[in-house]
Structure 1
């Protein structure tokens, strides 16, 4: 990792050279629509009761015009753009940008696990109960504090009169991330969707009139994609946007091939894969007590071998621990990491998504190596590929600061699906509260959640010691 720090100085040069991306070649993104785009129902104008049917392609072309604009990276991040953009995402100083504070709600799950849901804005006195809610899943070991999350939510949650969307947002932090405790012998993974499913029970019960708009980053994007496909017409999310979905899709979003791609280069193996593996190992060490509470549990038995790992790649960590602890039985444990990757990949399920879905990737993403552009033949899926941008980077020159190109297109998408789209999916299963206070839904009595003490106002502008941001 030492070679990385020699690049940090280059990142700080941005303070002196954020003027423009002058003289760079044409960077118009490639956008794929299905040959038969879906036709959806939309309002003729905001807050209108009059509706009409329009092609999703027409809507995107007219309401999300920034998707069709050039991405012109900062010139000092242009050469070897994918690596430098990613390095800046990891090592850049974003402490002065997009400040966010959250109201954390702690949820106890039926299996004894705990989720931390971070709601914004803090002051909701001016918001109606039916204001759209952006439901966020962050990357591999991040949380609501991640700069790529704040870049969008800071604007989405700002009042309309201040140039924002006037929406609510809630970040569903993975177990053990962003200061959320682990209280059961289970971690999380790319293929475990029940935690998101249970969080959505709580959000839907709290705000039954609000449209829920999914937004996923990296690993969180894969979880959200799989959730949508598994739920189909019963999805509680009425739309979703996936950024830098953590896969290497020779076919759409194939985790196994993504891992092979990562290990095929020096930087992929020794920087990105080991960086992600190290993040997960440090997360495990922070939660040893809870994960070892039952010495006979399969997860506790996997810990000694995991702790012996030295600077592991992501695959090595997954093969030793995630395949065992990344979800609940009977799906977990898997025999090998590759079995886990094959199960968790979303390349074969994207065709089953029943709500409008936008995916944005960068062609030079060093973590997500090759990106498909067929959308699984699904008319509700829009795929976009920029020439450069790295992994969750897309840095361009802003008005006196470094900004992300993706922020504006994503906000336009959220405005389209939050203000104009009229949901047409089937009704999700009814909710009820059982005798123990757990929110449940008919047909899935093994799942449920209830709010517990331990939440409150939190500062969402820091990070976690021992964890690299931006991954």
Structure 2
């Protein structure tokens, strides 16, 4: 196993143009204006033990290294931030496997449950499938909720992690789920919360039609926050008593010291989704294997760069990080 990396908390060298030095603008710009061209993937449907399925996108070029990418809340495997990182890693000689959480990517899953921030059993199935393809090494990367999922999975594996997993990379991580829910409940964050609820509503309505004995969407219009949504839907459908229990059980923050592979977490200081606790800076909080970088700017899954090659700063930083992996 590789040597541990030193813990450090720094303002990484990301300097966007003056007009992009806003956490809110950085958070919305890529969704509105970014397009990434990438060859069509080879798709695969991966069955789960509970008679459900996960949908995978493979980008293969014969490498012996695999990067496994996890998207964010209400994202999917072909969002620009996933394709941007995939393109950069492919150019660097990696194969890439991007996957969709249950109910994401345009295909509704079969079970009442959907996805959540601690569904590491699904990520574990994807990792097993990837490693079974014969790769010498693998790297796990995730964005936002997918970042929390990635860190939590690595922490749960701890000392018994497969020796082929060389490291982890996570961006804009709400590793303190309760605190991030509080942030998104603020009036100034209503635009983000409304967007999430707008995307989640048709999914819950479809599930209510399929499972009327389990799911009731009457009064959905009254839901304004993740406190309410997770209390009513996420927690009970996934075996938690309530939202607070769900957040406590699935936050990666207290588990970071259990990680045993080199791992980089990048959280912009101006991220409007993250609570102060999402910026752990002490060795005790991070453990010996995790590095935190805090660029002054970048917003939530932003890190916009206006460059001829189309790369964002986050992708350039990823290439610098993977250079040091086994």
**Do both share a fold (TM > 0.5)?**
yes
Change (3 A) 1:286 1:178: farther
1:272 corresponds, among 192, 204, 212, to 192
Change in CA separation of 1:340 and 1:72 when aligned onto 2, cut-off 3 Å: same
Q: 3-state DSSP class of the match of 1:350?
A: helix
- Residue 411 of structure 1 corresponds to 319
Alignment partners' CA distance in 2, 1:145 and 1:88:
17
Hey, what's the Cα distance between the residues in 2 that align with 1:410 and 1:171? 16
In structure 1, the partner of 2:157 is 231
CA distance in 2 between partners of 1:279 and 1:382 (Å): 33
Q: Where is the helix percentage greater, Structure 1 or Structure 2?
A: 2
Alignment of 1:385-424 (within 5 A): 385-399=294-308, 403-417=311-325, 421=326
Q: 1:341 is matched with which residue?
A: 247
Partner of 2:180 in structure 1?
A: 258
Instruction: Report how many residues are paired.
Output: 320
Instruction: Please state how far the C-alpha of 1:342 moved relative to its aligned partner.
Output: 1.4
Alignment match, 1:172: 99
Measured after TM superposition, the shift of residue 176 of structure 1 is 1.0
Distance 2:23 2:262 in 1: 28
SS at match of 1:260: helix
Q: 1:310, CA displacement in angstroms? A: 4.8
Asked if 1:303 corresponds to 2:216, the answer is yes
Q: Is the 2:25–2:299 Cα contact (8 Å) retained in structure 1? A: yes
1:256 deviation in Å? 0.8
> Could you state the TM-score of these two structures normalised by the residue count of structure 1?
0.63
- Counterpart of 1:11? none
- Structure 1 residue 374: Cα displacement: 2.3
Which 5+ residue runs of structure 1 have no aligned equivalent?
Answer: 1-39, 42-53, 61-66, 158-163, 248-252, 422-471
**1:75 aligned to which of 2, 11, 18:** 18
RMSD of equivalent CA atoms:
2.4
CA gap of 1:205–1:348, structure 2 versus 1, over 3 A, is: same
Do the aligned partners of residues 69 and 230 (structure 1) sit closer, same or farther apart at CA in structure 2, a change above 3 Å counting?
A: closer
Q: 1:85 to 1:398 in 2, by over 3 A?
A: same
Please tell me whether the aligned partners of residues 11 and 296 of structure 2 are also in contact (alpha carbons under 8 angstroms). no
Secondary structure (helix, strand or coil) at the match of 1:348 reads: helix
Task: Map residues 451-470 of structure 1 onto 2, 5 A cutoff.
Answer: none
CA displacement at 1:289 relative to structure 2 = 4.9
Q: Which runs of 5+ in 2 are unaligned?
A: none
Q: Rg larger in 1 or in 2?
A: 1
Query: How many Å apart are 1:100 and its aligned residue?
Result: 4.2
